[in-house]
Amino acid sequence: MESNDVRLPELLCNIVTKELSMKRIALRVRFVLFGIVFCCIASPVQALEMCWVFGSGMVLQADRPVPVWGKARPGEQVVVRFAGQAASAKADSEGNWNLKLNHMAASPLGRDMRIETISAITLFTDVLVGDVWVCSGQSNMLTPDMQNATGAAEELKGPGNPLVRAFSTWPHIWAAQPDTNNFPGSPFPNRSNLTVAPNYYRWEPIGGRTAAVSYYFGKMLQQQTGRPIGLIVAAVGASSGESWLPWSALNAELEFSAYALQSRDYVENFERNEKQLAQEIEAWEKRRAAAQAKGEPFAEAKPAAGGRPQFWARWWAGTSYNAHIAPLRDLAVKGVIWYQGENNAAGADGRTQGGVIGTKDGYQRLMTLLIAAWRSQFQQPQMPFLLVQLSAFGEGLPDIKRPGGWPAIREAQAAVAKNVPHTGLAVSVDIGEKDVHPRNKRPVGERLAKLALRDLYRCDVAASGPEYASHTVENGKIRVRFDRLHGGLLAKGDTLSGFAIAGGDQAFVWAKAAIEGDTVLVWSEQVANPVAVRYIYHQYAEADLYNAAGLPAVPFRTDDWPLRCSE
């Protein structure tokens, strides 16, 4: 009993000592864990980043492998889970990773995509699988949006279509270099402030803010095919075709290399040029103040960036491509719809400064290079590329002697559609007004959709208007024959207009025209011995020749004389 009493304090001491030791160990563990968490929070390396095209509500391309990529901590394993699949990849030394999901059937079922690493999880909800289209070009691919388009009030009364989703990039951003991983706004130099554009860079069902051409295109495709449709609207107002081509591709061509090098100079000296303009404005303000102090008139215009190509990044080689297309890398897509050329047409006219490639031959080669470069990037050698031929512009200006640059670009667009495989041409010369942005975009979007339905989805649908096939001279008149009649030729009004005829002197005059069966007879009392005829070879002319399917005739000419754009 006494012995046990003596040992009790010793036992109690040992117990207390062990408990204190365990507490010290636990405390050390807490400090270590806190340190790890703190380091993770404080680390400048983001745990998981995705390219901006990925997000909730997105549409993934069906029926082919789907690339998914982003950035994680170097060496981390990334797992992507979607629709019963789990694909993984390891981030490289710079944190870049990429993988591919196996091909999936189109599905209207919204499902979750989960991207996870040991340190982070990203979840995208309501993801569909269908067909993804890139909608690109300049302002007519953006303007008007649906709420300002012709017929919008009635169109938007409906319940909408949740199976058509649109994703729009900020239309003024540009980048000096191809930027395949960074988020919008990170390329230098860039003056865009994305905080003022909260409605961009996110997927949402089509509606009033959706660009009208893509709205009607996607709506018709979804209705006719039953497949979910995703529309990536990546367009920049007043952008030249050169800005949508990779700089390296343009520079590699002898014809275009000088333009590419000039663009590179503008990029590298952008801040210097801005500083110089600020100095010019400061000097101007001093001269104005001095004149006002003396009571003298001062009519000198204030220096401005407008009209100076060194400040118009949307004209420079590669800038729009770098910011809007290069980041998409090899994203799986169904095809491209393209509405551009107005800016190049202005250059072809010769009356508008800008230095853009505007000749018909130059623009044809430019677009051929562009299509090849985009197909290479998306790793789809036969990727469909559907072009909109320029609409009429400048009502009341049908100048027979100076047709403007529009016909030159229209001719180039038609040549691209004819000579480059897996392309198509949506004619819109019957749509136009004084504004360069005609509001009636429904026919444009639906004509693009008909091309896709005929050529890709194998639907039995008329998609092209009458095309020139041949002609003969008969007793002082020219008879024109057409292909793609789809039931015959029709005139929108009582008479045909937009035809011009010329003799050997190459002096065109407006002509009379009449439909005779499946041909059109063209003549003028001013031309006794005609040798050539043109149809809609002017910036603006009434287009009223259609086929029975209601599609307008493609502008054409039977001569190969120089187009006198600016005489």
Domain ranges of the chain: 1-43, 133-463, 467-557
What is the pLDDT, as a whole number, of residue 348? 53
- 36: exposed, middle or buried (Cβ count in 10 Å: 0-12, 13-18, 19+): exposed
Q: Which CATH number fits domain 133-463: 2.40.110.10, 3.40.50.300, 3.40.50.1110, 2.40.50.140?
A: 3.40.50.1110
**Residues pairing with 200 in the sheet:** none
Q: What is the pLDDT of residues 181-209, one digit of tens each?
A: 554 444 333 444 455 456 788 999 999 99
pTM of the model: 0.89
- Contact between 375 and 328 (Cβ < 8 Å): no
Query: What span, in angstroms and rounded, lies between the C-alpha atoms of 164 and 131?
Result: 10
For 38, other C-beta atoms within 10 Å of its C-beta total: 10
What is the pLDDT, as a whole number, of residue 179? 73
What is the pLDDT, as a whole number, of residue 39? 36
What is the pLDDT, as a whole number, of residue 181? 58
What is the pLDDT, as a whole number, of residue 307? 78
Query: What span, in angstroms and rounded, lies between the C-alpha atoms of 35 and 386?
Result: 56
Query: What span, in angstroms and rounded, lies between the C-alpha atoms of 424 and 338?
Result: 10
Q: What is the pLDDT of residues 116-163, one digit of tens each?
A: 999 999 999 999 999 999 999 999 999 999 999 999 999 999 888 999
Query: Vertex 422, ends 224 and 416: CA angle to 5°?
Result: 120
562 upstream amide cis, omega within 30 of 0: no
* Side chain identity, residue 192: S
- Contact between 261 and 251 (Cβ < 8 Å): yes
What is the pLDDT, as a whole number, of residue 356? 59
What is the pLDDT, as a whole number, of residue 540? 85
Query: What span, in angstroms and rounded, lies between the C-alpha atoms of 484 and 339?
Result: 23
User: What residue ranges of the chain have pLDDT lower than 50?
Assistant: 1-45, 183-193, 196, 349-355, 566-567
What is the pLDDT, as a whole number, of residue 427? 98
* Side chain identity, residue 567: E
What is the pLDDT, as a whole number, of residue 28? 40
What is the pLDDT, as a whole number, of residue 171? 86
What is the pLDDT, as a whole number, of residue 401? 66
Place of tokens 């997000």: 55
- Contact between 206 and 164 (Cβ < 8 Å): yes
How far are the Cα atoms of 275, 279, 296, 322 from residue 284, in angstroms, in the given order? 14, 9, 15, 36
For residue 500 the two structure tokens come to 């011009």
